[in-house]
Amino acid sequence: MTHSSTTESTCIVWFRRDLRVNDNPALVAAIERGGPVLPVFLYAPEEEGDWAPGGAARWWLHHALTSLSRALDELGLPLVIRRGPSLDALRELVAETGAGAVFWNRRYEPAIVARDTTIKQTLKEDGLDAWSGNAALIWEPHQVRNQQGRPFRVFTPFWKHLRTQAPSPPVVLPELAAKAPDEAPRSLALDALGLLPERDWDAGFPQRWTPTLDGAGEALEAFLDGPVARYAERRDCPGASGTSRLSPFLAHGQLGPRQVWAAAHSTGAADGKGGYTFLKELAWREFAHHLLVHFPQTPTEPLNDAYRHFPWEPDEAALAAWQRGRTGYPIVDAGMRELWRTGWMHNRVRMVVASLLVKHLLQPWQEGARWFWDTLVDADLANNTLGWQWSAGCGADAAPYFRIFNPMLQGEKFDPDGAYVRRWVPELADLPDRHIHTPWAAPDAVLRKAGVRLGETYPRPVIEHAAGRRRALAALQENKERQRQPGD
């Protein structure tokens, strides 16, 4: 199967997690090539290994593809949707169109890297021009090394190094008009992919999200127009609108990090304390991908080998109580219910709920990572892995395992008036502020007045805080002793 790779032949642009037309290197390169351009989306979840898109991410993907299709229509380019296997589908499209090139933007998940390497090699052997660009990151992981030439494992020196490197700017669509093939190949209807849930568990999603390219631009503009100024002080308060909520747009590539970085600088937002703190969070996203590329085993294995045989105590009932927001700790239950209802959870609360799961409840961090993967609209393997290993004390730059969040104090510090808990745990809404995070400590008269019946309308804590802390520290000590045993 050999085709001409001249600029007169069609160039297939394979869209993946780069569902935008602006700052899209593969699309720009294809248009600049001068021949017809055929945008394609291939749905092949079985090729993602253990990390096929979860339910919440599929919901977002459906709407993102609808929006992408409209944006491409405005360029005069129809979007063709096919199912995988990806290599077979690409070869079929090449045969149908006489395409001489296939362009795409890189992904960094281990299973996808392996797949794409095989696809690129095979397409080149077929005589095609196969090229990949960078749409997902500001700095490529293989280009960022410490002074010894090795990958970074600690964020602070990673961030210090990035600040000496010029960020790559967004790429701009050429003025040259895009040309579509004379005849577009057949395309599946988007609904045929079955991305939307059959049961309406997603009813709360549209109230929170506008998963379109316009929604992405509006969210970025709204954040940089005001909230970014107080981001450093308010980003930890789940009851306030203090975060950007750009993560799902970044995860699906409706916004590129270069666009966000450039916009923060062009608006002057980057000059303030809030803007600097926000850019540092973007750098954490870069760090997460850096780690995933250099340590591809980490989605399921701890980066720190000392935690490889940690004495977890798997317990289906404890895990289910956590998943359903029925732990008896209000700030935790609020977070888990917000996640289920909206596909998202405030970052501070993500840390609190993760700490309770892996420390108080001694459940493996991989169980938490799996649940987040299926329920988050912003599910991203690099970020998910970094976050859960950080919480479990076994990753890069991790919080030490003995750092055990007190869920009551976390609630009192970051949700002092209980606004967040009242929104997501309405059965506690009538408790006074002083008891909203510790309902079990409220006098009976206060509970009666608020209509709270512990163990009935709201659960008692699945484990008492002090007992959970003692158990976690005992497990840590047991793990240390295992390390000392000969032969381990």
Active site residue 365: yes
- Looking at this protein, which amino acid is placed at residue 487? G
Residue-wise pLDDT for 343-378, tens only, equals 999 999 999 999 999 999 999 999 999 999 999 999
The CATH T-level fold of domain 305-481 is DNA Cyclobutane Dipyrimidine Photolyase, subunit A; domain 3 (1.10.579)
Specify the pLDDT at position 5.
43
Which of 362, 387, 389 is closest to 376 using CA atoms? 387
Specify the pLDDT at position 268.
85
CA distance 148 to 168: 24
User: Could you give the percent of the chain with pLDDT greater than 90?
Assistant: 89
Residue-wise pLDDT for 45-55, tens only, equals 999 999 999 99
Asked if pLDDT for residue 4 goes beyond 80, the answer is no
Specify the pLDDT at position 1.
31
Of the candidates 139, 344, 388, 424, the residue annotated as catalytic is 388
For 8, list phi and psi in degrees, rounded to 5. Answer: -80, -20
Of the candidates 281, 301, 412, 427, the residue annotated as catalytic is 281
- Looking at this protein, which amino acid is placed at residue 130? A
Residue-wise pLDDT for 114-145, tens only, equals 999 999 999 999 999 999 999 999 999 998 99
Q: Give whole-number Cα distances, 227 to 63, 223, 249, in Å.
A: 26, 5, 18
CA distance 187 to 40: 9
Of the candidates 48, 284, 412, 427, the residue annotated as catalytic is 284
CA distance 464 to 472: 12
Which of 54, 424, 84 is closest to 238 using CA atoms? 424
CA distance 49 to 109: 10
Cβ atoms of residues 331 and 437 within 8 Å: yes
Which of 3, 7, 71 is closest to 36 using CA atoms? 7
Within the chain, all domains assigned CATH 1.10.579.10 are found at 305-481
Average pLDDT in the 315-334 region? 98
Q: Is the peptide bond before 85 cis (omega within 30 degrees of 0)?
A: yes
Specify the pLDDT at position 487.
54
Asked if pLDDT for residue 266 goes beyond 50, the answer is yes
Encoded tokens for 356 = 């309770």
Within the chain, all domains assigned CATH 3.40.50.620 are found at 11-134
CA distance 363 to 112: 29
Specify the pLDDT at position 7.
58
At residue 270 the predicted structure's pLDDT band, cuts being 50, 70 and 90, is confident
For 310, list phi and psi in degrees, rounded to 5. Answer: -60, 140
Active site residue 312: yes
Specify the pLDDT at position 267.
87
Of the candidates 261, 322, 365, 373, the residue annotated as catalytic is 365
Specify the pLDDT at position 2.
34
Specify the pLDDT at position 386.
96
Within the chain, all domains assigned CATH 1.25.40.80 are found at 137-169+211-294
- Looking at this protein, which amino acid is placed at residue 108? Y
At residue 13 the predicted structure's pLDDT band, cuts being 50, 70 and 90, is very high
Of the candidates 139, 209, 261, 312, the residue annotated as catalytic is 312
Q: Give whole-number Cα distances, 367 to 314, 361, 396, in Å.
A: 9, 12, 19
**Architecture of the domain whose range is 137-169+211-294:** Alpha Horseshoe (1.25)
Q: Give whole-number Cα distances, 431 to 269, 336, 419, 451, 460, in Å.
A: 39, 20, 11, 9, 15
Encoded tokens for 285 = 């996203």
Residue-wise pLDDT for 18-34, tens only, equals 999 999 999 999 999 99
Residue in the structure block whose two tokens are 């004379």: 182
Q: Which of 168-177, 276-285, 326-335 has the lowest mean pLDDT?
A: 168-177
CA distance 324 to 346: 17
Of the candidates 96, 140, 159, 347, the residue annotated as catalytic is 347
Asked if pLDDT for residue 155 goes beyond 50, the answer is yes
Average pLDDT in the 237-260 region? 95
Encoded tokens for 187 = 């395309």
CA distance 298 to 479: 19
Encoded tokens for 422 = 């009242």
Specify the pLDDT at position 401.
80
CA distance 344 to 4: 47
Residue-wise pLDDT for 276-306, tens only, equals 999 999 999 999 999 999 999 999 999 999 9
Specify the pLDDT at position 176.
85
Residue-wise pLDDT for 58-105, tens only, equals 999 999 999 999 999 999 999 999 999 999 999 999 999 999 999 999
Q: For the domain covering 11-134, report its CATH number.
A: 3.40.50.620
The overall average pLDDT reported for the chain is 94
Residue by residue, what is the 3-state secondary structure of the chain?
Answer: CCCCCCCCCCEEEEECCCCCCCCCHHHHHHHHHCCEEEEEEEECHHHHCCCCCCHHHHHHHHHHHHHHHHHHHHCCCCCEEEECCHHHHHHHHHHHHCCCEEEEECCCCHHHHHHHHHHHHHHHHCCCEEEEECCCCCCCHHHCCCCCCCCCCCHHHHHHHHCCCCCCCCCCCCCCCCECCCCCCCCCCHHHHCCCCCCCCCCCHHHHCCCCHHHHHHHHHHHHCCHHHHHHHHCCCCCCCCCCCCHHHHHCCCCCHHHHHHHHHHCCHHHCHHHHHHHHHHHHHHHHHHHHHHCCCCCCCCCCHHHCCCCCCCCHHHHHHHHCCCCCCHHHHHHHHHHHHHCCCCHHHHHHHHHHHHHHCCCCHHHHHHHHHHHCCCCCHHHHHHHHHHHHCCCCCCCCCCCCCCHHHHHHHHCCCCHHHHHHCHHHCCCCHHHCCCHHHCCHHHHHHHCCCECCCECCCCCCHHHHHHHHHHHHHHHHHHHHCCCC
User: Which has the higher per-residue pLDDT, 242 or 111?
Assistant: 111
Residues 6+ apart with CB under 8 A from 469: 359, 360, 404
